[in-house]
Amino acid sequence: MTTTKHLLTSVEMARFVANGFHRLDAIVPAELNERAIPEFDAGQQPGVEYGTPLRQAFAEGSISRALLDIPAVAGALQSLIGSDPTVDHHHVHVREPREGEAQPLHGDAIIDTRTDAFDVQLMYYPQEVTADMGGTLSVPGSHLRRTNESDTGRYQNLRGQTRLTCPPGTVVLLHHGIWHGGRRNDSDIRRYMYKIRFNPTVPQVRTWNVDDLDDPGVSEALSVYHPWCEHATARLEIHNRIKMWRALTNDTSFDIDYWATRVANRPGRV
């Protein structure tokens, strides 16, 4: 995969840590989008065993390989998960026209307490997704709130949630824990989303372009408040981001407003 000059910046990585996603609108060329849906309908996505190295998972000339070889996609994936990831699984999700059902809000994992590693999920939309086609609903910033799969399924709407609409060829890279669900398709058009989940095999430490690591925009991005959190709980989410950023940068001194330093203080006894 070609990543030169397409790695994420530190500010972009900080936004991912705060929001749980990185979005690339219309990044996939039109000719690949035109290939995708007929191939998805024909079932031409061969199975991949759990844990297959990415370099072995998809054949030359396949939709998947072409998608992952797009420089901006390859660079973003390298930035988020590091080199030589494995493929957890992949699947084409289809929402039929006027099907009348939606997925419950969920995270794609059991309770996951890792603070120093995370999986990345790629979602590819080969066609335009309009509001009446449903789109993927997600709750920005929810990925560090630990839940067990569909514990959140009883929630119908949360402040600040987004329901994806996008141009064809859009790719979204998600932290595996973000709360999301496929919405009901009220249009007359079949809606497609192709998902690939990746597992890291190397420490996810400074895997992006760190030239701007000291940019004030990093702390600014990590300090954002999301509408679904009340003020006090939002501070806990920021604390979770501080811990994640420390792990990603291998910098145990990083802090925002002294919050992590204060609660970690353990004075020695004389």
Please indicate, yes or no, if residue 25 is contained in any of the structural domains: yes
Count how many domains the chain has: 1
Please indicate, yes or no, if residue 185 is contained in any of the structural domains: yes
The predicted structure's pLDDT at residue 270? 61
Q: Please report the beta strands in 118-190, taking only residues with DSSP state E, as ranges in sequence order.
A: 120-125, 136-138, 162-163, 170-175, 180-182
Token pair, residue 48, equals 């991949």
Please indicate, yes or no, if residue 238 is contained in any of the structural domains: no
Check which CATH number belongs to the domain holding 182 and give it.
2.60.120.620
Please indicate, yes or no, if residue 107 is contained in any of the structural domains: yes
DSSP 206: S
The predicted structure's pLDDT at residue 102? 87
Please indicate, yes or no, if residue 259 is contained in any of the structural domains: no
Please indicate, yes or no, if residue 129 is contained in any of the structural domains: yes
Q: What is the pLDDT along the chain (270 residues), one digit of tens a residue?
A: 444 579 999 999 999 999 999 999 999 999 999 999 999 999 878 889 999 999 999 999 999 999 999 999 999 999 999 999 999 999 999 999 998 888 899 999 889 888 889 999 999 999 999 999 988 999 999 999 989 999 999 988 899 999 999 999 999 999 999 999 999 999 999 999 999 999 999 999 999 999 999 999 999 999 999 999 988 889 999 999 999 999 999 999 999 999 999 998 888 866
For residues 130 and 164, what is the distance between their CA atoms, to the nearest angstrom? 8
User: Which residues constitute the domain of residue 60?
Assistant: 10-199
The predicted structure's pLDDT at residue 269? 64
Please indicate, yes or no, if residue 251 is contained in any of the structural domains: no
Please indicate, yes or no, if residue 150 is contained in any of the structural domains: yes
Which pTM was predicted?
0.94
For residues 159 and 179, what is the distance between their CA atoms, to the nearest angstrom? 13
Tokens 């603070």 correspond to 115
